[in-house]
Amino acid sequence: MRGADDIPISRGFYAVNLSSLRALRAPVLLTLGLVLAACSGTPGTVSRTVPPEYAARADGERMIPAVNPKYLNERNRRRWVDYAGPEAPGTIVVDPYARLLYHVQEGGRAMRFGIAVGREGRGFHGSATVRRKEQYPYWAPTKNMIRQDPEVYAALAGGLPGGLDNPLGARALYLYRGGRDTMYRIHGTMDPASIGKATSAGCIRLFNQDIIDMFDEAELGTPVRVRTRAESLALEGAMVELTSGYLVPATATDLIEADRTANEAAKAAAEAASASASARAQREAELTGQAG
């Protein structure tokens, strides 16, 4: 199996596109980014430098920032893999439970991407079709999102124009079934730290570099298959979520044990620090009382 470093330069838009940063424009958007996903830790091997496919690139008048290498672990970074699923070439396969997306190609191969999955991304499964594609799409929170989290979403009820500070990121693919919008989206992100994790809201998000290239590869009419939990278990196996929020296969016992040990050590250190602070405060109170 070829890895990400073996991505052929001439194979469609999954080749390298070289092209910097547009800051978030309002405090409420910073809050939104924090709510949509958190960041810490990375399992497996991480790139020490930015791979060419994740470098900063020009996108019309905008510049897409490079992806921080610490987010590019083995499951997050796009790579060519062997694919044994039943779907035909050209199909996009979403696995919200393993947090992976496959774009199936000829010859039993697929381009695999790491994804972040929100509540909405876990509420749909089965077959659909890409019937609409948007560059820098408009976004507005749903009524349900506003009702559940008014402090975050009420101020955004009027929606946000497209841009790098928009939760849908640089591109979006809209999925339809039977001619009706499923409200299920495959899109970019304003928060690259979220990729590979479960998030509080949203559908299926990818790094902006990944969704831009998939947008160009996936034509209108592209079939999409969203796996059920049973299908995910059968094809990907059981997964375990680490303290960091990233998934690893349940068979990766060394990583799981290391995570458990580190987590227990961190809790013990926190408890010791709390006990020490409490004892110090009590001693100071006693001394103050004696002085009085």
Tens digits of pLDDT across the chain (292 residues): 334 444 333 345 565 443 332 333 333 343 344 334 323 334 556 667 899 999 999 999 999 999 999 999 999 999 999 999 999 999 999 999 999 999 999 999 999 999 999 877 788 899 999 999 999 999 988 787 788 889 888 888 889 999 999 999 999 999 999 999 998 999 999 999 999 999 877 789 999 999 999 999 999 999 999 999 999 999 999 999 999 999 999 999 999 999 999 888 888 888 888 888 888 888 877 777 666 5
CA distance to 40, 42, 246, 249, per residue, from 262 (Å): 13, 13, 15, 18
271 near 265, Cβ under 8 Å?
Answer: no
Report the candidate in 136, 196, 199 with the shortest Cα–Cα distance to residue 172.
136
Residue 152 is encoded by which pair of tokens? 């975050």
d(CA 54, CA 77): 9
Residue 79 is encoded by which pair of tokens? 């790579």
d(CA 225, CA 83): 14
Neighbours of 197 (CB within 10 A): 24
d(CA 106, CA 112): 14
DSSP structure class, residue 48? S
130 near 90, Cβ under 8 Å?
Answer: no
185 near 117, Cβ under 8 Å?
Answer: no
- List of long-range contacts for 24-33, beta carbons under 8 Å, 24+ apart: 24/165, 24/190, 25/165, 26/165, 28/152, 28/155, 28/156, 29/160, 29/165, 29/190, 31/152, 32/152, 32/153, 32/156, 32/167, 32/190, 33/190, 33/191
Q: Which positions are annotated as active-site residues? A: 187, 203
Burial class (CB in 10 A: 0-12, 13-18, 19+), 86: exposed
d(CA 103, CA 116): 16
Residue bearing tokens 């919200």: 96
Tell me the CA end-to-end span of the chain in Å, nearest whole number. Answer: 75
Angle at 31 between CA 61 and CA 77, to 5 degrees: 60
Report the candidate in 187, 139, 206, 194 with the shortest Cα–Cα distance to residue 166.
139
38 near 193, Cβ under 8 Å?
Answer: yes
Report the candidate in 92, 119, 85 with the shortest Cα–Cα distance to residue 186.
92
Q: Looking at residue 283, what is its pLDDT? A: 83
What does the H/E/C string look like for 162-198? CCCCCCCCCEEEEEEECCEEEEEEEECCCCHHHCCCE
Region of residue 288 (phi > 0: left; psi between -120 and 50: alpha; otherwise: beta): alpha
Looking at the DSSP bridge assignments, the partners of residue 144 are: none
